[in-house]
């Protein structure tokens, strides 16, 4: 069975890998695709998020599986496989990249995040698998930071996607509830004001990645 596999990668912790992977999977599954979300993080963050929300993250026909179950799970005819990786090991990142059609590397507008993406890009380039950097957690009050980060990454020759994800409280709220960012709610249980913007950004990112994932 051949699937289109998207891996969300990173050498550093806390760069929004799980947030990005789970919400892309949620978006594609809501759009009627059969999505397998593979949780390759031993901490099981994506699996726990999915369980926390009683599975509402993914529509019927999609599923989440820990990496140990990937060989069996991948025997089914998924439209798309999304892999959430654990930050840290270069060898692991290389291995996951090699099994992918496209690798997405989230990057925050911060020096340490830029440095890890530049390091990761060396590994990815060696695999020959296409990849792109998505700027995430971009502070809307400091747009210059994202602009400069984009310039730095492009200057060293890295492909940076046009889509960008803004720093919004809807993200941790959705994570805590185990739902897609579209369904984030405030502490007083009202729809979070940033949820629509965040979900639109997920949609834009998904559409841009699809152009790269074409067989
Ligand atoms: N756009 C955003 N705006 C605000 N907070 C965000 C955003 N994206 C992610 N976060 C929050 O940042 C934290 C780290 O995100 P996440 O868990 O997705 O990172 P990670 O790279 O998977 O981390 P780890 O390396 O531990 O697996 C989480 O609390 C998440 O809710
Ligand atoms: Mg994670």
From the CA of 15, give the closest atom in ligand 1: 21
User: Which pLDDT does position 2 carry in this prediction?
Assistant: 65
| Least confident span in 44-58, 83-97, 115-129 | 83-97
- Taking only the tens place, the pLDDT of each residue in 5-48 is 999 999 989 999 999 999 999 999 999 999 999 999 999 999 99
Give φ, ψ of 18 to 5 degrees.
Answer: -65, -40
Asked if pLDDT for residue 214 goes beyond 80, the answer is: no
Distance 1 CA to ligand 1 centre (A): 32
| Ligand 1 binding pocket includes 140 (Cβ within 6 Å) | no
User: Which pLDDT does position 165 carry in this prediction?
Assistant: 98
Could you state, in order of their start, the residue ranges of all structural domains in the chain? 4-210
Q: Which of 84, 136, 172, 183 maximizes ligand 1 atoms within 8 Å of its Cβ, making it the mutation to test the pocket?
A: 172
Name residues whose C-beta falls within 8 Å of residue 30's C-beta, 6 or more positions apart in sequence.
Answer: 59, 180, 182
User: Which pLDDT does position 1 carry in this prediction?
Assistant: 52
163-184 average pLDDT score: 98
User: Which pLDDT does position 48 carry in this prediction?
Assistant: 98
Around ion ligand 2, residues with a beta carbon closer than 5 Å are 17-18, 45
Q: Which CATH superfamily is domain 4-210 in?
A: P-loop containing nucleotide triphosphate hydrolases (3.40.50.300)
d(CA 215, CA 211): 10
**188 pLDDT band (50/70/90 cuts)?**
very high
Asked if pLDDT for residue 137 goes beyond 90, the answer is: yes
Q: Which ligand is nearest to the CA of 15?
A: 1
Sign of the alpha-carbon dihedral angle for 126, 137, 145, 86: negative
64-79 average pLDDT score: 93
Mean pLDDT, the chain, as a whole number? Answer: 96
110-126 average pLDDT score: 96
User: Which pLDDT does position 215 carry in this prediction?
Assistant: 65
User: Which pLDDT does position 89 carry in this prediction?
Assistant: 87
User: Which pLDDT does position 88 carry in this prediction?
Assistant: 76
| Ligand 1 binding pocket includes 165 (Cβ within 6 Å) | yes
Name residues whose C-beta falls within 8 Å of residue 34's C-beta, 6 or more positions apart in sequence.
Answer: 61, 62, 76, 77, 78, 79, 80
């Amino acid at each position: 069975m051949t699937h289109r596999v998207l891996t969300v990668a990173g050498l550093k912790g806390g760069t929004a890998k799980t947030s990005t992977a789970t919400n892309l999977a949620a978006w594609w599954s809501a759009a009627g695709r059969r999505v397998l979300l593979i949780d390759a993080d031993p901490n099981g963050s994506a699996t726990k998020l999915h369980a926390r929300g009683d599975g509402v993250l993914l529509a019927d026909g999609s599923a989440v599986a820990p990496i140990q179950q990937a060989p069996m799970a991948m025997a089914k005819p998924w439209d798309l496989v999304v892999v959430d990786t654990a930050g840290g090991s270069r060898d692991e990142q290389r291995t996951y990249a090699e099994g992918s059609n496209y690798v997405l590397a989230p990057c925050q507008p911060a020096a340490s995040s830029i440095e890890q993406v530049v390091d990761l890009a060396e590994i990815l380039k060696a695999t020959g698998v296409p990849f792109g950097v998505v700027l995430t957690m971009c502070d809307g009050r400091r747009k210059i930071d994202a602009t400069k980060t984009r310039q730095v990454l492009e200057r060293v020759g890295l492909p940076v996607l046009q889509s960008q994800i803004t720093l919004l409280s809807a993200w941790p709220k959705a994570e805590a509830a185990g739902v897609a960012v579209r369904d984030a709610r405030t502490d007083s249980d009202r729809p979070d004001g940033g949820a629509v913007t965040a979900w639109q950004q997920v949609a834009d990112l998904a559409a841009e990645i699809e152009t790269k994932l074409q067989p």
